[in-house]
Amino acid sequence: MAHSKSKVLIIGATGYIGKYLVNASVKLGHPTFVLLRSLTTSDPPKAELVKSFQESGVTLLKGDVNDYESLVAALRQVDVVISTVSGPAALSQVKILDAAKEAGTIKRFIPSEFGHDVDRLEIDFKDMEGLFGTKRTVRREIEKSGIPYTFVISGGFAGYFVANLANDNVTSPPRDKVTIWGDGTAKAILNTEEDIATYTIKSVDDPRVENKFLHIRPKENIISQGELVALWEKKIGTTLEKTVVSKEELRKIIEETPFPANVIHAIRYSAFVKGDLTSFELNANDVEAAELYPDVQYTTVSAYLDQFL
């Protein structure tokens, strides 16, 4: 007899990566729930998004991570909780954890990671300690809780770093000039938001991923900024004018730019200058998504760029 799929609650569903997780959960056949502070909103884009959730069969639950009773009530209706709260709210996930322990129904907690492996990251700038250090704190609390977990290490979002060749203030790949960070050779990992969501949802009922780190690092998407730019140049048949910002210059920019405006620069420094996303080998606590789920037809960086031709 086939096992029924877990009921999945997504907290932060109207945020950047949250909406992709909702769509993937529905597509993969999970009863899907989202937690909303209010079931109505005067913000037209958010209202349209919530309407699309309802039309796809998602159950809307009124509640808030800061309202403990509503949080417990929501968690009692599901099997898996996925948090996509933003960086400043990362510590609030301890409240989700407390509520999950009281609810007694949660068989997997996937916290808001979706980026670097913060345990393998040397934090170079004090402002980043608040972001990455908090994620480490949340990890330790989850590990102590006894609630099964999966930490999703996704690399960089294609929408943030491929669509603009890792440059500022553009929404499509530049066709004339481009900024290169450092020497352009450090390898990053860049995945589409849809693929990150699909791999995450594929893992929720998989015992092989329980209490593990799920790394999304398909070979074709391990790429340096220099290789990314060269790939785009080949597609458009043009050589871009390149401005190089050295490692030292980028560090100065980060140190002189106020928080949180410096965050994206610090992430660029980590991913495209230091190569933090690829600077380690996987071990017994790590699993690789593309190997576990070969049926997923993920989008390569090259294919992602084709939409801009």
Known catalytic residues?
135
Phi first, then psi: what are they for 134, rounded to 5°? -65, -40
Interatomic CA distance for residues 280 and 34, integer angstroms: 35
Beta bridge partners of 213: 151, 286
Cα(241)–Cα(233) distance, integer angstroms: 11
**Torsional class of 211: left (φ above 0), alpha (ψ -120 to 50), beta (otherwise):** left
Distance between CA atoms of residues 128 and 285, nearest Å: 25
Q: How many CB atoms lie within 10 A of CB 83?
A: 24
Rounded CA Rg of the chain: 20
